[in-house]
């Protein structure tokens, strides 16, 4: 078993869609970024890469590469899952989305289902929590959103030399 922790943050920007966990959330602002700025999937990607010992999202999908401009983060997640295919399988994930606004509780089940579909795992292996920061910090002041994800990977083949 391997464990990885991912974190991502994006500030709000006018004129963009808000996408979290591959789900579009109705809100007056979206998140700024090179891709669709899905902070939750970015944190998930970093968690998977970390658990697999494969670096981080910026190494594989740099924000200076125009090939990733405006790309859906679910496409990047698919590429990461291809990287670990045959070596690791996602066992479970636990996610925290931190946002003062919008209220995310009504979308947690939809996000959970979308992530389970993207990862090809049972929904019971996906947990999504939404938190506020009681008005504190940049998220509390409604300047952006951050996400944390922890993932456990099952090792499919063990290399006894490492």
Residue 4, marked binder: no
Residue 12, marked binder: no
Residue 63, marked binder: yes
Residue 61, marked binder: yes
Nearest to 51 by CA among 84, 23, 100: 84
Residue 26, marked binder: no
- What are the φ and ψ backbone dihedral angles of 114, each rounded to 5 degrees? -65, -45
Residue 65, marked binder: yes
Residue 29, marked binder: no
Residue 58, marked binder: yes
Residue 34, marked binder: yes
CB within 8 A of 20, min separation 6: which ones? Answer: 38, 39, 40, 97, 104, 107, 111, 145, 147
> Which residues belong to the annotated binding site for a divalent metal cation?
8, 10, 42
> Which residues belong to the annotated binding site?
8-10, 34-35, 42, 56-58, 61-65, 138, 141
């Amino acid at each position: 078993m391997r464990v990885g922790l991912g974190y991502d943050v994006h500030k709000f920007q006018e004129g963009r869609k808000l996408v979290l966990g591959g789900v579009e959330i109705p809100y007056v602002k979206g998140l700024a970024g090179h891709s669709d700025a899905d902070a939750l999937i970015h944190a998930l990607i970093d968690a998977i890469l970390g658990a697999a010992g494969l670096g981080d999202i910026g190494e594989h999908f740099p924000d200076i590469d125009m090939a990733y401009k405006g790309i859906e983060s679910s496409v990047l997640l698919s590429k990461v899952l291809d990287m670990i295919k045959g070596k690791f399988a996602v066992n479970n994930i636990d996610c925290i989305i931190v946002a003062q606004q919008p209220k995310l509780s009504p979308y947690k089940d939809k996000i959970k289902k979308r992530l389970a579909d993207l990862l090809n795992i049972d929904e019971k292996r996906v947990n999504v929590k939404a938190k506020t920061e009681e008005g504190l910090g940049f998220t509390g002041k409604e300047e952006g959103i951050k996400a944390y994800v922890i993932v456990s990977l099952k090792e499919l083949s063990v290399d006894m030399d490492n």
